[in-house]
Chains A and B, each alone.
Chain A
Amino acid sequence: MKIATPKITRRQFIINSAAVGGGLALGLRLPYGGPTVVRAADGSPEIGAWVVIRPDETVVVRIARSEMGQGSLTGLAQMVAEELECDWKRVTTEYPTPATNVARKRVWGDYGTGGSRGIRTSENYVRKGGAAARMMLVQAAADQWKVPVSECSAANGVVTHGPSKKKLSYGKLAEAAAKLDVPKDIPLKDPKDWKIIGKPLKRLDTADKVTGKQMYSADMKLPGMLSAAIKGAPVFGAKVVSFDQSKISAMKGVKKVMVVRNTAVAVVADTWWQAKTALDALPIVWEEGPNNKVSSESIAKMLDEGLSAEQAFVHNQNGDSKAALASAAKKIEAVYTYPYQNHACMEPMNATALYTADRCQVWTGTQNGEAALAATAEASGLPVDKCDVHKMLLGGGFGRKGMSDYVTQAVVIAKEMPGTPVKLLWSREEDMAQGRYHPVMHAKLTAGLDNAGNISGMHIRLSGQSILAAVRPEALDKGKDPFAFQGFWPTGEHSLEYTIPNLLIDHAMRNTHVPPGFWRGVNINQNAIFLECFIDELAQAAGQDPLAFRRKMMDKHPKSLAVLNAVAEKGGWGKPLAAGRHLGLAHFRSFGSYVAACAEISVKDGNKVKIHKIVAATDTGYAVNPAQIERQISGSFVYGLSAVFDQECTVKDGKIEQTNFHDYNSMRIAQMPKVESIVMPSGGFWGGVGEPTICVAAPAVLNAFARATGKRIRSFPLKNHGITLV
């Protein structure tokens, strides 16, 4: 297994190792070991690409996907350990760098960490990585004992020869195993034999997070490092005309002021506080262009026009919705609107870059290591094999850190100062002003009811922004953005979980100058509100119980029906409630998983909402770590409920108006409902975890609110209606 090793100076190697705690400079061919052995930086041998075993029996599992709090790192390690038959207590992890992956022909697969894909789209090759290593270790033991491999077995990091009871530990077998070829035919365990997958194990990465020792890229320190603060054009698309450097050049610590890609100005100083203070004092003239006339009102007007526009992309259609609506006994129509929202990761965007004439390195938290590497190469002007990205733990990602804009900026700045590492850190204000926002969307939902109160036809018209059109136009399907329809697909991982006759779901794409981006769940947040609130409106119009009304349309959706029934039962649907309490239901499918929620609320003075409890259920097919899934459920509810109650990015004069958490609020512990999670994996498929549940809390609460108050709210956030979460 020969590997191409990027040229690396000894000084850079020391920096790498020091920066990330050692041992991460992978693929270095150190001058010991056999000719075919690939070694980690500490000299320990690789047993296949996914596993390194150290002489002290430590098992190092390689993790390609990024950890940003969602727990994939632990889940991925569980899957390797399951097949490896190692001792879980000895498992540790490391990230191979993106450049190493490229140099090794992408042996670790996809680095992208978004779309709730971390586990579900890598489970097969990751488990095979563990299984292959086990097979090599067992083979090595059999070779040493000169016995048939079929007489040997592995458990807890030890290979045992059955007849003789001889034993050898993985640490002792690693060198010999590493010299063997990686097997081609790698059988995997039957899920019923799993011992580590499916267990509610604790995360592997907690200890340093409670002592302050955990390094995020915002904490990066390198010898001689300078810090940069940046201000991008407040009106998206505007250009820098000039800035008055004389106003700040005498300020303490200031080293350099520069234009970055014509769209931003950066100040580099000895410390970040000096850089930020100077940047705040720097007069900058922008050429704003026509976008400075855009406002939330002008955007809303454009989207409202789209609600009745002729042209729209159709994604789900059966029968004749137009005729069915025209002849319906009763017709119901509702218009919902959903705003721009920012991610507001706790750790603002940042990256540290070190550029020299022949090499560029970046340290950053990224959800897409290879995209960050590509951005590094592009911005430095160096070939990919002269660049690398050292991935660090993210202080939250939520989709925002799948973009590499901040990496590009850091490299552009560092390139102006060759040999000096520069850490670029955005202020919170910059993060609010330069988001890649949850897209704005309006929807008109029209349905017909027959005399028995059954839906006879339905039309959902979406009107609003496409993420793909902005960030991955090549992924559009003849101009259509399928992700705008998450949860509304006719089939597939985002399928609509009702059987509705005479259905039409279409999207009038209305793009604006505000840059959209993937967000936790993204379009399921509003699509679940649109559909699940409207279904409650229809049940009410039909004079039927919302649960019974839903069940009628779910015969062909047994997995969704199962999660819905589970929350209805545990949530006490149809049973007597404490005085003043009201329930609301919602369910949805996305990222392959089936989820439902039953919210129990009370409302004081008509506008103070207390969520007492939310019962949530998810069927993820296989559940790798139920304890972490529970945390993703309750955590996603915080993100989703913060959004529906409090969060909106408004546009004025072409700029985002909100600047910090005082006007872009996020839920606190006092507002947190008790979340009771039902993790109910039915087996046979791999569904996502981090995102699917986010979308059911809001419609469940909104449906409960409508039952409590008789008021149906159709535009968000709720703060605009004077409604608060208490």
Chain B
Amino acid sequence: MARLTINGKAVNVDVDPNTPLLWVIREQVGLTGTKYGCGVAQCGACTVHMNGEALRSCAMPVSAAEGKKITTIEGLANKGLLTKVQKAWIEHDVPQCGYCQSGMIMAVSALLKEKPKPTDADIDAAITNICRCGTFQQVREAIHAAAKA
């Protein structure tokens, strides 16, 4: 039994403690906005926040998440009110297929918390998510727009 706090709610799941957090979020908790892309912390599609920091959940056992505050893409908006990152994503028409964008938005949200006005170099260093559609140009524009909002 693992006790988790996900998007502010306490959740108890009966699962092998080695199960990656990603799969507990998707299969036991039923929140599917967090995506599987590689399973080896390469692509970032599974990015969530753990105690406010970006984390690739596919390579982290659920046991390591006990007692930590986990936020997923579904928990980003507050009572339906989108964050400035989500709004910038809509305003700049960022997503193409959209599959990587949950992770991208979570990574960017963590970056902006740490560096509210990131430079291009800050973005290059912090945002290493893979997007096969190639939305990077719009991602960069939207990050700067969100920083100004």
Contacts and interface: CB of A to CB of B under 8 A. Distances in A.
B137 A675 contact: yes
Interface string A412-434: 00000000000001011100000
Contacts of A428: 37-40
Contact of A669 (B36, B42, B127): B127
A273 B38 CA distance: 13
Given A206-B89, A675-B137, A211 B77 contact: yes
Contacts of A344: 132
A307 to B, nearest CB: 32
14 contacts: A69-B95, A69-B98, A205-B98, A210-B89, A273-B19, A346-B35, A346-B99, A348-B36, A428-B38, A631-B96, A634-B134, A634-B137, A662-B42, A668-B136
B28 to A, nearest CB: 8
Given A212-B74, A428-B38, A661-B130, A71 B96 contact: yes
Interface residues of B, number: 58
Interface string B19-30: 110010011101
Interface in A185-218: 202-203, 205-207, 209-216, 218
A211 B73 contact: yes
Contact of B90 (A69, A207, A345): A207
Given A206-B93, A635-B96, A672-B140, 8 more contacts: A69-B96, A211-B33, A215-B32, A273-B23, A346-B99, A348-B37, A668-B127, A668-B136
A80 interface: no
B63 interface: no
A213 B72 CA distance: 12
B102 interface: yes
Contact of B130 (A273, A398, A668): A668
Interface in B85-128: 86, 89-90, 93-102, 105, 123-125, 127-128
Interface of B: 16, 19-20, 23, 26-28, 30-40, 42-43, 45, 72-74, 76-77, 82, 86, 89-90, 93-102, 105, 123-125, 127-140
Contacts of A634: 134, 136-138
Contacts of A348: 36-37
Interface in A390-406: 393-398
Interface residues of A, number: 59
A636 interface: yes
A628 to B, nearest CB: 8
Contacts of A631: 93, 96, 135, 137-138
A118 to B, nearest CB: 14
Nearest to B44: A668
Given A273-B27, A395-B98, A218 B127 contact: no
A69 B73 CA distance: 20
Interface of A: 68-71, 202-203, 205-207, 209-216, 218-219, 221, 227, 252, 271-273, 344-348, 393-398, 425, 427-429, 627, 631, 634-639, 660-662, 666-670, 672, 674-675
A454 to B, nearest CB: 38
A255 to B, nearest CB: 15
Nearest to A218: B36
A674 B26 CA distance: 36
Given A212-B33, A272-B23, A273-B20, A638 B95 contact: no
Contacts of B34: 212
Contact of B93 (A216, A272, A627): A627
A394 B97 contact: yes
Nearest to B99: A395
A668 B96 contact: no
Given A210-B105, A272-B27, A639-B134, A668 B129 contact: yes
Contacts of B137: 631, 634, 672, 674-675
A666 B132 CA distance: 7
